[in-house]
Chains A and B, each alone.
Chain A
Amino acid sequence: MKTFSGLNSERIDALLASIRSVCEGLAEIRLMEVCGTHTVSIFRSGIRSLLPKNVRLISGPGCPVCVTPSGYLDAACNLAGRSGVTVCTYGDMVRVPGTDGSLADHRAQGGDVRVVYSVRDALRYAMDTPDKEVVFLAIGFETTAPATASAILEARRSDVKNFSVLEGHKLVVPAMRTLLSDPSTALDGFICPGHVSVVIGSAAYKPISREYGKPCVVAGFEPIQILACVERLAMQVREGRADVENVYQVAVKEEGNVVAMQRIEEVFQPAAATWRAMGSFPDSGLKLRQSYQEFDAARRFGLKTDGDYEPPACRCGDVIQGKVEPLECALFGKTCTTTHPIGPCMVSSEGTCAAWFKYGSVAR
C-alpha cells in the first residue's frame, strides 16, 4: 500500500501486531472517528481491513458540510438570488443540495457565488466592492471559527459596512455529548480530530472521558497516527480506563491555541444549533454576541437558517450518527452517487457515503 511505504512499514507492522494482541479475547470494540478528514484517511489507507475483526471503526458527524441543515443552504441560495449580493463560500458547500437546488444551481442562474480559500478573501472583496453586500458562509468546526472571528474583528476595526456572515459554525464536543446521550449509538471510544484539537486543545475532551466514561485519543491524519490512536483506545478499553490521550503532541497542546480560542470567545457565544437530519442541540453551535450582531447576515436580510428537510429515503442523518452504514441506505450507489449525489454525505469529499462509494472495496 502506497501510504505504508518506506520507513513507516516497520512501525505499522509493530502497531498492528500490538493492536491484535491488545484486542485478543475482547468483545467488539466500537470506535468513532469524529473527523471527516480521518474518515478519508482511514478509507484511503485501507486501515479497516487490517484491523482485527472485533475492532469496528464508525464514522461520525465530523464533516461540517454534512451537518449543515438544508435551511442554511436555502438561506444561502436566497442570498445568491438577490441582486447586489455576493455570496462567498468555501468550495465544499457549492454542490450541496438545499430544498430548491444548490449554490451551483443558483450560480448557473446568474447568482453571484464566489469560492474563497479564506474568509480574508471575502472581507477583501467587500472592501474592494463597497457597492455590493458581501456575505460569507461561516461553516466549519473550531478549526475555521477563529478565522471568521478574526475577519469580523477586522471588519469592525476597518469599519466595513457591506460585510456580514451567515453563521453556521458548530462545536465538536457538544456533538460527542449528543451522540453519547443517545442509547442506540453504542460507542467505546473516540478518535478525536487532529486540527480541531490544535485549536481547542486535548483538555477539551476531559468532560467526555470523565462524565461518560469514554476514552478519547487525539490523532493526526497519517495512517500511522490513526493506528497509534486505535492502539491506545483498545488498551484503555482492555484496562477499563477512560482517559484523554494525545498521539499528536507535535501539533496539539493540552490547552490548544489560546489566542484562537480568545478570538472565538470575543465574537461568538455558544447557542443551540440544528444539525442536519439530527435535530437541534443546546450550545452545539455559535452565534454572534450582541455587540457584533451588525455582522449577522440572517438578521441583516431577515432569513432563518435552522429549517431542515431531508430527501425522502435519504439516511444521511443515521449515517453521521454511526447508526447505519451507507450500504444500509436504499439510495446508496443506486440513485445517490458522487456524480449525482442526493444527500450531503455523498456530496462532500469528506462525507462518509462519498468515502464508502470511492473506496468501497476496502470497507467492511
Chain B
Amino acid sequence: MSILTLEHLTKSFGAHQVIDDISYTLEEGRIFGLIGQNGSGKTTLMKLILGLLPSTKGKIFILDEEVSYGYTATNRHIGYLPDVPSYYPYMTAYEYLMLCGEITGMPKNVRKERVEHYLHLVGLAKNKKRIQQFSRGMKQRLGIAQALINQPKLLICDEPTSALDPIGRKEILDILQSIKHETTVILSTHILHDAEQICDEIALLHNGKFVITGNLSEIMTKHSKHQIQVTFHTENQACTFLEKLPFNEQIVHKSNSLIIEAKDLTHTQQQLFSLCNALNLYPSSIEVVQPSLDEIFLEVSR
C-alpha cells in the first residue's frame, strides 16, 4: 500500500516556484532519501506534507487520506523531526516526551511505557538533565524519540544529520535503520554519503522537480560510467604505461595513477592486463571505480 502520494504538487512563493508539478508514490516500509542543495525546496515539500503550508496546486495523500492545510488530521500518521528542533529548555527529556504524548491523546499508562521505551531507544533513558544542557546530538536524538512517540506510519526527518559530528551522525543513522521495519522514513539530506548508507529509494530535487528517482543501486548502474583506476608504485611507471596505452579513450593522469574511461569494460580490462604483461610492469592496484552519488548529483545539478 502506498503511504504517500503526491499528485501534481506545485508550490510557489510569489513568482518563485519552489515545487514544480511533482507526482510521486511512496510505498510502505522504505527509507526514502530526499536529496537536494540548500534551498532546493526539501523543507517546503516536507511542510506541505505536514499541512503546515498551503499548496498552490495539486494534492497530497497520506494512506489515501487527503492532507488539508490547517486542519491536519493526517498528522496522526506522521512523526516529524524539524531540521533544528527546538524544545522547552526548562524541561527534562522525560517531561517533554510526556507532554508530547499527552497532546497526542494517549492514556497515562501507555504514555509512560512508550516514553521509557523510546528514551531507551535513543539512549537518553538515564538522562535527568534539563534540555538546555543537551548537546546538538542529544537534541537530535530526543527529536527522533519525540517523532516516534505516537508510533507513526511515516517518519519525516528534515536533515537529521547535517549539524552533527561523525559519531552523532552514525548514531542517528543507526536509530533510523533500526526502526525501518516499523515505519516508513522520509529523510532529507545534502550529505549524500548518509543517503548512500541507509536509503532504499532516493529522489533528487532540483529546480522544483524530482530529476532522478528510484532505487539507489539502479541509479548507480544507470549513471555509472565505466571507469578503471590503475595505480602504480611510482609516477614514472604510470607515465611509461600511459605512453604505451593502445586505445584513445579518455584518460586522467594523477601522479602515480591513471583513470581510464572504458566504453567496453571487459575489453578494456583485457587490453590492460595484456599490456601489463607485455611491458612487464605491474600496477599496485587495478579497480573498477563506481561513481559516488556526489558525482551523479553534481552532474545532474549542472
The answer to whether A and B belong to the same complex is no
